Structure 1
Amino acid sequence: MYSEPDPDIAERMRGMHATAAAVLDATPIGSREAWGWRGRTLSRPVATASGEGWLRLVSAPADKAGGKLWEGPQEAERLMPPAVPRPHLRGRHTWTNGEHGYLAELYDRVTVPTITAHEPTLRKAPDLDDTWWDALSTALDAIVTVPSERVAVRQEYLDRAMPQYLGMEIDTKAPAWTTAHGDLHWANLTGPTLTILDWEGWGIAPAGYDAALLYSYSLLVPTTAAEARRRLGHILDTAAGRFAELVVITELLQTTTRGDNLDLEKPLRRRLSEITSAQPAVRGAGAE
């Protein structure tokens, strides 16, 4: 999704990816590389005895290698129902080398492209039919039924960040909490056939969080934003859904202070104004 990192990071990650391929009996094929943010991940298509796969390597400082993000895909493989389309996890391997820890995950290869190639934000309208939108709605409804002790969004964050980045006093108590994918943006969705990728950070979040995140990342393409709102209205057009939008707006406005998502700031603030003009939507447990 991101560009190739600095040469020293790229060289280290390519070397460790080769190590992972050897351990998992996989052979990289072709020259395609998919980089994560600042070279944190490197993924490549591979050949295996059971068919083509996708080998994803994750890197973290050795003292931070493990925990929720490390275990997310494995837990998703164990707990997510068939109504949630995602690549099957075939195998995994973890190790430490010097200052870095590594997680290698071997997945079934998904040949359908992601809707955006390099970033979460949508910049042109995708050609998605009723089947795709119905599959997404079904998947989101299925995800919320999965019991989990994993946490994607913390109440402590809402208490601290919402007043700061929304610029107002606000009831930060979510009307409800449900299980969420936690990173449902356009670079983690494939089309024209739906597959949901990247299950690192799934867990409990304010109800409606996934739909709110996808909608917010659609705001630069009003036709798709309107379509998302129409298709996911049963989630978004509720008190919980509006609160989830405020949570997502908080998070994305915070990223603008670091120089990210700058072109989303104006539409996010416009949407914030629309939501907060209806006072019940601002109060955490307001009526429908």
Structure 2
Amino acid sequence: MDRDESEQRLFLRQVLADGAARLGAEPTGEPVFGWRDRTIGALAIRRGEAVWLRATGEHREWTGDRMWTGNQDAAALTGVAKPTVLARSEWEEPPVVLAAEVMTLAPEPVCSSTPELRKELDLPDAWWEQLADSLARIEAQPSARVSYSEKNFAYCLHVRFGPWVDLDVSLTWATSHCDLHWANLTAPGLTILDWETWGRAPQGIDAATLYCHSLLVPKTARKVYEVFRDTLDTPAGKLAQLSVIDHLLSRAADGEHPDLVLPLHRLADQLLNRRPEGDHPCI
């Protein structure tokens, strides 16, 4: 353990230990911290089997958010390779509510240690076919969970792109993963990880998310576009891409993935016809 570790990480380590005791699990690996240290996870043994132990804490007023039970709620989705929540425990230590869950392990490693892809991947055609089929299966299943509100979707696009963006486009809302980047996909066998934020969103948001997270690796970015061209190369698909661009640029303003900023702006310029037509900006 780092002696200079932040108070948040020390807090999460204790939540993980408490959660392990409540769920009868024994952590066996060094913990991994989630985005902005919201969560903590580690390999563990429970009832003689290897599992993934995950824990988090949140103020009571935020526990009604879709993210709080996302992994557990994903059990409602069928026909998709994803971890299964085996057990979950919640307890209070005012002013926060704490939660821990154990999940089945994905049998394959993640495609990337970072959400944005930074090296070429040699993925078989069957992998891409399974991914496309999985997204179609997810979209076909109804859900009351809402990940994107129609009002906020349009508002963010208007604020970011102003008069350049045409919002008079017919959109279809469909069930989506809503965080489909390379650190949430495994290979060579496909498992889709991290179902915290899934719910209804503009159709095409998953393909757009994966494409935008691929821009640093031209070959893979072109493959993503090829596989999902029927979705991305439509007015609604272009709005989905612009929405993801807005989201990632907001993250970049806080110092995340700075090398994606230029490719994202180039893609936005093309989608908005602010520069001559050409190849997609996979640089």
Common fold: TM-score over 0.5: yes
Distance in 1 between the 2:4 and 2:270 partners? Answer: 39
Distance in 2 between the 1:107 and 1:238 partners? Answer: 37
Query: 1:168 aligns to what SS in structure 2?
Result: helix
1:238 to 234, 237, 251: 234
1:151 aligns with 2:149: no
Identity %: 36
Query: 1:183 aligns to what SS in structure 2?
Result: coil
Aligned AA (1:258)? D
Aligned AA (1:80)? L
Distance in 2 between the 1:264 and 1:19 partners? Answer: 38
Map of 2:200 onto structure 1: 204
Give 1:179-198 correspondences, 5 Å limit.
179-198=175-194
Cα 1:128/1:105, change in 2 over 3 Å: same
Aligned AA (1:200)? E
Map of 1:35 onto structure 2: 33
Map of 2:281 onto structure 1: none
Question: Is this contact kept in 2: 1:185–1:217, CA < 8 A?
Answer: yes
Distance in 1 between the 2:173 and 2:158 partners? Answer: 20
1:266 to 262, 267, 276: 262
Distance in 2 between the 1:159 and 1:235 partners? Answer: 19
| Cα shift at 1:238 | 2.4
Segments of structure 2 that go 5 or more residues without pairing to the other structure are 275-283
Per-residue CA deviation, residues 84-134 of structure 1 (Å, 9 max, x unaligned), is: 1101110111112133222211101224111111x2111111221112111
Aligned AA (2:59)? P
Cα 1:71/1:177, change in 2 over 3 Å: same
Map of 2:277 onto structure 1: none
1:136 aligns with 2:131: yes
Per-residue CA deviation, residues 235-284 of structure 1 (Å, 9 max, x unaligned), is: 22223222211211122222233332322121111111221229xxxxxx
Distance in 2 between the 1:132 and 1:50 partners? Answer: 31
Question: Is this contact kept in 1: 2:15–2:56, CA < 8 A?
Answer: no
Distance in 2 between the 1:206 and 1:232 partners? Answer: 15
Cα 1:234/1:169, change in 2 over 3 Å: closer
Query: 2:163 aligns to what SS in structure 1?
Result: coil
| Cα shift at 1:217 | 0.4
Map of 1:9 onto structure 2: 8
1:170 aligns with 2:170: no
Map of 1:250 onto structure 2: 246
Question: Is this contact kept in 2: 1:123–1:221, CA < 8 A?
Answer: yes
Query: 2:145 aligns to what SS in structure 1?
Result: coil
Aligned AA (1:267)? P
Distance in 1 between the 2:177 and 2:86 partners? Answer: 20
Distance in 2 between the 1:165 and 1:239 partners? Answer: 18
1:90 to 86, 91, 113: 86
TM-score scaled to structure 2, two decimals?
0.90
Map of 2:55 onto structure 1: 57
Farther off after superposition, 215-224 or 6-15:
6-15
Question: Is this contact kept in 2: 1:5–1:39, CA < 8 A?
Answer: no
Aligned AA (2:63)? A
Query: 1:122 aligns to what SS in structure 2?
Result: coil
Aligned AA (1:11)? L
Question: Is this contact kept in 2: 1:174–1:206, CA < 8 A?
Answer: no
| Cα shift at 1:167 | 4.1
TM-score scaled to structure 1, two decimals?
0.88
Question: Is this contact kept in 2: 1:174–1:243, CA < 8 A?
Answer: no
Segments of structure 1 that go 5 or more residues without pairing to the other structure are 279-288
Distance in 2 between the 1:17 and 1:50 partners? Answer: 19
Per-residue CA deviation, residues 200-227 of structure 1 (Å, 9 max, x unaligned), is: 1111111100000000000011111001
Distance in 2 between the 1:96 and 1:174 partners? Answer: 44
Map of 2:43 onto structure 1: 45
Map of 1:71 onto structure 2: 69
Aligned AA (2:159)? Q
| Cα shift at 1:140 | 0.5
Cα 1:162/1:6, change in 2 over 3 Å: farther
